[in-house]
C-alpha cells in the first residue's frame, strides 16, 4: 500500500507532457506562445541537420522566430483545417529575415498557423509584429560566450521589455557538442489578441531548463 501511495505521489510531482490535439477547431485557444530560437545554441546542439539555412556558416543569426503557437491552458492544437488556404510568396515576405527559412515558415503554418483562425497573410504579419515587440537584452547581445542561468536570462528579458515578467517566459536548453547545457530557445506567452504578455501555463513551464548553469553561445 505504501509503495502504491509513493508511486502516485512521484507521478504527481512529475511534469505532465503537453497533449497535442490534432485537427482541433481553428481559432479556439487560450493563448499564443512565441517561440524564439537562440540560433547559436540551436546549431551547437545538432540543429543544423534540421535547419541548414539557420546554421550555415556566416549566417550570424541570434534570436530568431521558431514559431507562433496557439495553446490551451492544458495541451495545444495542431494541424487544424486550413480551409483550402495555403501561404503565398507575398504572405511569406512578412517573415523574411524573421524566420530562418521559407521551409520552416510553411511547416509552421501547417502545424500551428492553421489553428490560429487567421488567413496566412495575417498569421505571418502577426509573427513579424510579435517578434518586433521583444527587445533583445544586453545579456544576449554579446559576441562572447557567456555562462548564465535560466533565471538570469528571464530577468534580463523582463528588464528589457516593459510588461514582461519571468513567469511569462520559459527558457529551454539542450546539451551541446561539449556536453554543456546550452541556451536553445526562449518561449514567451501572449494573450490571444497578441496585445499583452501573460503568465505561461504549466504545460509551457514544464519545458523550462532545469540546469542551474547554461552556456550562451555567441552568434557567428
Q: Which of 51, 112, 154, 185 is catalytic?
A: 112
Which of the 8 DSSP states describes residue 197?
B
C-alpha span between 119 and 113 (Å, rounded) = 8
**CA contacts within 13 A on the Cβ side of 139:** 19
217 an active-site residue? no
C-alpha span between 109 and 116 (Å, rounded) = 9
Q: Which of 66, 154, 185, 217 is catalytic?
A: 66
User: Phi first, then psi: what are they for 156, rounded to 5°?
Assistant: -65, -40
Q: Which residue, among 214, 169, 161, 125, has the nearest Cα to 33 in the 3D structure?
A: 169
How does 108-119 read in b/e, with b if 16+ C-beta sit within 10 Å? Answer: bbebbbbbbbbe
66 an active-site residue? yes
Measured from the Cβ of residue 70, the count of other Cβ atoms closer than 10 Å reads 25
Q: Which of 108, 154, 172, 185 is catalytic?
A: 108
Known catalytic residues are 66, 108, 112
Amino acid at each position: 500500500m505504501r509503495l502504491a501511495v509513493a508511486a502516485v505521489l512521484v507521478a504527481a510531482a512529475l511534469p505532465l507532457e503537453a497533449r497535442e490535439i490534432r485537427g482541433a477547431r481553428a481559432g479556439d485557444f487560450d493563448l499564443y506562445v512565441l517561440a524564439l530560437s537562440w540560433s547559436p545554441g540551436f546549431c551547437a546542439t545538432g540543429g543544423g541537420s534540421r535547419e541548414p539555412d539557420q546554421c550555415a556558416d556566416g549566417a550570424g543569426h541570434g534570436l530568431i522566430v521558431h514559431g507562433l503557437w496557439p495553446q490551451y491552458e492544458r495541451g495545444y492544437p495542431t494541424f487544424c483545417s486550413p480551409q483550402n488556404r495555403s501561404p503565398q510568396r507575398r504572405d511569406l515576405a512578412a517573415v523574411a529575415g524573421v524566420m530562418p527559412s521559407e521551409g520552416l515558415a510553411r511547416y509552421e503554418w501547417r502545424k500551428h498557423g492553421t489553428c490560429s483562425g487567421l488567413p496566412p497573410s495575417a498569421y505571418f504579419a502577426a509573427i513579424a509584429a510579435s517578434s518586433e515587440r521583444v527587445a533583445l537584452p544586453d545579456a544576449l547581445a554579446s559576441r562572447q560566450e557567456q555562462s548564465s542561468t535560466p533565471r538570469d536570462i528571464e530577468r534580463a528579458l523582463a528588464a528589457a521589455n516593459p510588461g514582461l515578467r519571468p513567469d511569462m517566459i520559459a527558457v529551454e536548453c539542450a546539451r551541446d557538442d561539449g556536453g554543456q547545457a546550452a541556451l536553445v530557445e526562449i518561449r514567451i506567452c501572449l494573450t490571444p489578441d497578441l496585445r499583452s504578455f501573460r503568465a505561461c501555463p504549466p504545460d509551457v513551464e514544464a519545458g523550462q531548463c532545469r540546469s542551474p548553469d547554461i552556456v550562451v553561445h555567441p552568434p557567428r
